[in-house]
Amino acid sequence: MDRRHFLTLSSAAALAAVSGCQFSPAHSLPESSDWQQLKADFSGQLLFPSDAGFSRFYKAANSRYDSIIPAVIARCATTADVQQVLAFARRFQLPITGRSGGHNYAGYSSTKGILLDLALMADIQLEPEEDTAWIGAGAKLGDIYDQLSQKGRSIPGGSCVGVGIAGLTQGGGFGIADRLYGLTCDALLEAEVVTVDGDVLRCNEQHNADLFWGLRGGGGGQFGIVTRLKFQTFATADILSCHAYFALKDALPVLNLWQHWSRQLPEALWSQAALWWSGEQGHQPQLQIRVISVGQIKLLQQQWVNWLRRLPVQPVEQDVVLHNYREYMLTDCAGLEMPECKLPHQSEQAKLKRVAMAGSSDFFNKVISRAGLEALLEQVQQRQQQGLSGGILLTLMGGAISSVPAEQTAFAHRDALFSAQYLVSRPVGSPEAELKRASVWVNQMRSMMQPYSTGGAYLNYTDALIKNWSAAYYGAHYEKLQQLKSRYDPEQLLRFSQGIQPA
Ligand SMILES: Cc1cc2nc3c(=O)[nH]c(=O)nc-3n(C[C@H](O)[C@H](O)[C@H](O)COP(=O)(O)OP(=O)(O)OC[C@H]3O[C@@H](n4cnc5c(N)ncnc54)[C@H](O)[C@@H]3O)c2cc1C
């Protein structure tokens, strides 16, 4: 559809038809003059399908959602732009979704309506006198680590440089510093939110505290559009990373020991057990155990020696590496300038590659029994025998994550000892049938592990196949989140298939 075609033909009815949303004929339809007016008042970029850059900017991190093509991309540059686009969507009842980094597993930042992209609102300002940072909602983790660490500061966050700060924070935010400094949402001090009514709200413990609560774990785009976020920062330090690799035949006793050993670790240390296999012939799955510390080098060295001594079998390989903080957090950017260290929808100079993937998750409040570990390992063997790839990541929680009272934020899994992620990541262009089977597999892993798990799921590893998603993502917090939805978006202008329903 070229722009003229869109301007004349686009209407709420057409958009509603493609999006599958209900359209109320009581609403007037946008005329081309309405679109022109929006464009005239807009300081960012409005991109229509025939515009240069459209086909680059509409795509998300996961290529599985490339067939969801928006009618327009509103690349907002100011809070006023966000207000205008929301008002336009509300006036004509057009489907709309926000995007920060575009990493949502289930494609919730893709739409056939208006894609409200925050990428141009990515300013990162450190306030040195108070060790806080204001970060634009479109900023990506790579730029945040890059810019803050040049001044010796950082925030707790995830490992992938292209992940957006707004999506990560609103879902929780796991990363190597979370046992020491909490989840990304725990470091959030304040956020600016544009409500669907166009109000600009300052949200913190004193102002709009109910919404501030919901922004910390309630999920991206449920209550309004976040435009900027203020975080507590921490002082960076060198990172020590210790790895040991084991053959699959030895994995059971090692995993078992790892669970009991890691839960006793001081909160400065982060740890993960990862089973990865490529599905390629001749490639054997391996178990990798990682322990990482930000600072606390001696403490980890001692713990690592202690771990190696207690092992029932020898690792195939092990290494201990000391990294500069910035280099470690920007590992994916090695040899690239920062504008190149992006995914294609995030920068014109981007050199990072997108993937096609499916994921799901679990939480465990106690160590997984031998039978549970055997079930996990059997899955690895079965998929490997079928020539199918996959990954199972068990990550230690606790520490600062669990010291935040359960009712203080909307994140519902404070008591968990471990999180699990089930993951299949394939190159772009992999057959959709294979990816659909992967979505089913990762989801079925939850059912298989149900006897051992809490039944919870991590909202940021969104799994569209989870049927009881409200209980799984939100647990006892769902009712309170429904009240927030009723208050801030009762008409559900912002909606997803697993969106919070008004009370
Ligand atoms: C490769 C990869 C690595 C990952 N690594 C980690 C990790 O280390 N730790 C971790 O915890 N998670 C990780 N995740 C999961 C990640 O946290 C979630 O996918 C998160 O939602 C991504 O945020 P985003 O802004 O990039 O995504 P988006 O898809 O842009 O947004 C996610 C959701 O938030 C909404 N949203 C986006 N911006 C706004 C806004 N400004 N206001 C309101 N709503 C908004 C969107 O509509 C969507 O529903 C990873 C995901 C991938 C694909």
**Looking at ligand 1, which atom is closest to the CA of residue 118?**
41
Mean pLDDT over 467-486 rounds to: 98
**Looking at ligand 1, which atom is closest to the CA of residue 97?**
47
194 C-beta closer than 6 A to ligand 1: no
What pLDDT was estimated at residue 284?
A: 83
Task: Report how far residue 45's alpha carbon sits from residue 169's, in angstroms, rounded to the nearest whole number.
Answer: 25
**Mean pLDDT score across all residues of the chain:** 93
pLDDT at 3 over 60: no
What pLDDT was estimated at residue 384?
A: 87
Give me ligand 1 centre to Cα 385, in Å. 33
pLDDT at 200 over 70: yes
Tell me the domains of the chain and their CATH numbers.
3-117 (3.30.43.10), 124-235 (3.30.465.10), 239-323+354-468 (3.40.462.20)
Are residues 334 and 351 in contact, defined by beta-carbon separation less than 8 angstroms? no
pLDDT at 281 over 80: no
**Looking at ligand 1, which atom is closest to the CA of residue 425?**
1
Mean pLDDT over 160-175 rounds to: 98
Confidence of residue 17 (pLDDT cuts 50, 70, 90): very low
User: Chain-centre distance of CA 132, in angstroms?
Assistant: 22
Report CA-CA distances (Å) from 377 to 282, 310, 391. 18, 22, 11
pLDDT at 145 over 80: yes
Give me ligand 1 centre to Cα 121, in Å. 16
61 C-beta closer than 6 A to ligand 1: yes
Q: For the segment 251-262, what is each residue's pLDDT rounded down to a tens digit?
A: 999 999 999 999
> What percent of the chain is predicted at pLDDT more than 90?
89
pLDDT at 16 over 50: no
Best mutation site among 105, 117, 168 for ligand 1, i.e. most ligand atoms within 8 A of its Cβ?
168
Residue with tokens 């799984």: 472
Confidence of residue 215 (pLDDT cuts 50, 70, 90): very high
What pLDDT was estimated at residue 55?
A: 96
pLDDT at 175 over 80: yes
Residue nearest to atom 18 of ligand 1 (CA): 460
Mean pLDDT over 215-241 rounds to: 97
Confidence of residue 11 (pLDDT cuts 50, 70, 90): very low
Give me ligand 1 centre to Cα 173, in Å. 9
What pLDDT was estimated at residue 29?
A: 76
Long-range contacts from 27-34, C-beta under 8 angstroms, 24+ separation: 27/91, 27/92, 27/93, 28/91, 28/92, 29/92, 30/88, 30/91, 30/92, 30/94, 32/7, 32/8, 34/88, 34/92
What pLDDT was estimated at residue 27?
A: 61
100 C-beta closer than 6 A to ligand 1: yes
324 C-beta closer than 6 A to ligand 1: no
What pLDDT was estimated at residue 5?
A: 38
**Looking at ligand 1, which atom is closest to the CA of residue 494?**
47
By DSSP bridging, strand 317-323 and strand 124-127 are unpaired
Mean pLDDT over 195-219 rounds to: 98
Mean pLDDT over 156-171 rounds to: 97
163 C-beta closer than 6 A to ligand 1: yes
Task: Report how far residue 432's alpha carbon sits from residue 437's, in angstroms, rounded to the nearest whole number.
Answer: 9
Task: Report how far residue 324's alpha carbon sits from residue 494's, in angstroms, rounded to the nearest whole number.
Answer: 41
pLDDT at 224 over 80: yes
Residue nearest to atom 2 of ligand 1 (CA): 160
CA angle 485, 486, 487 (to 5 degrees): 90
Give me ligand 1 centre to Cα 163, in Å. 6
pLDDT at 23 over 80: no
Give me ligand 1 centre to Cα 448, in Å. 26
Mean pLDDT over 112-128 rounds to: 96
**Looking at ligand 1, which atom is closest to the CA of residue 220?**
34
Mean pLDDT over 467-488 rounds to: 98
Nearest by Cα to 454 from 371, 393, 365: 365
pLDDT at 14 over 80: no
174 C-beta closer than 6 A to ligand 1: yes
Mean pLDDT over 263-269 rounds to: 97
Q: For the segment 385-443, what is each residue's pLDDT rounded down to a tens digit?
A: 888 999 999 999 999 999 999 999 999 999 999 999 999 999 999 999 999 999 999 99
220 C-beta closer than 6 A to ligand 1: yes
